[in-house]
């Protein structure tokens, strides 16, 4: 067994991982999330037992980082009310979030598995077999996650 030099993984997968993360966490946080993913992967890399399916391994880490990032944002208060002390303070809104008219905000509010499956299916244009391989599920589960995610999005967007 031999692992390829880590740089080769970066060269091969960074661009697509970034697109995946843009879909999952939005354009502003995607690059930081990519760095967090790569550092976490680099840390664990020498302990890998085999070099099979390194891509799926990277997406598992990216998915975890994306989920952390989305949770962190959800916990952040929208408005900070300083009762009687002063005016309410609006948190900074990232410019790039404005034009996605609610759709991408809704994507980020999907359950993690549905979000991941939807982003794989549409942003990366993968078929269900490829999504299954990356998420470590069956093709049927991948299909179900995508369609459940789409159903929810349709409700959100039509509202």
Partner 1 sequence: MTELERRLARPAMPDLDPARVTVELARRADAEGLLDVAWSTLDTPLGPIAVFVTRRGLVRVAYDRENFGAVADEVAERVSPRVLLAPRRTDAVRAQLDAYFAKDRRAFDLPIDWTLIRGFNQGVLRATAAIPYGEVASYGDVASAAGSPRAARAAGNALAGNPIPIVVPCHRVIHADGGLGGYTGGLETKRFLLRLEGARRS
Q: What residue ranges bind partner 1 (CB under 8 A)? A: 2-8, 10-11, 14-15, 18-19, 22-23, 27, 30-31, 34-35, 38-39, 42-43, 45-46, 96, 99-100, 103-104, 107, 118, 121-123, 125, 150, 153-154, 157
Q: What value, to the nearest 5°, has the Cα angle with vertex 72 and ends 71 and 74?
A: 60
> What does the H/E/C string look like for 22-63?
HHHHCHHHHHHHHHHHHHHHHHHHHHCCCCCCHHHHHHHHHH
123/141 with CB nearer partner 1: 123
CB 26 within 8 A of CB 66: no
45/137 with CB nearer partner 1: 45
CB of 122 to partner 1, least distance (A): 4
**The two structure tokens encoding residue 70:** 């989305």
72/103 with CB nearer partner 1: 103
Helices 128-135, 54-75: axis angle to 10 degrees equals 80
38/135 with CB nearer partner 1: 38
CB of 46 to partner 1, least distance (A): 6
């Amino acid at each position: 067994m031999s692992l390829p030099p880590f740089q080769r993984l970066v060269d091969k997968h960074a661009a697509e991982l970034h697109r995946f993360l843009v879909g999952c966490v939005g354009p502003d946080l995607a690059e930081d999330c990519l760095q967090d993913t790569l550092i976490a992967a680099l840390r664990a890399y020498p302990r890998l037992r085999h070099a099979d399916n390194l891509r799926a391994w990277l997406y598992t880490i990216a998915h975890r980082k994306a989920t952390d990032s989305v949770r962190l944002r959800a916990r952040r208060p929208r408005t900070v009310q300083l009762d009687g002390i002063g005016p309410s303070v609006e948190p900074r809104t990232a410019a790039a979030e404005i034009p996605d008219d609610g759709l991408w905000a809704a994507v980020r509010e999907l359950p993690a598995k549905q979000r991941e499956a939807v982003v794989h299916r549409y942003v990366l244009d993968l078929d269900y077999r490829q999504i299954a391989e990356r998420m470590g599920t069956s093709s049927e589960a991948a299909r179900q996650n995508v369609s459940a995610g789409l159903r929810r999005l349709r409700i959100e967007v039509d509202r």
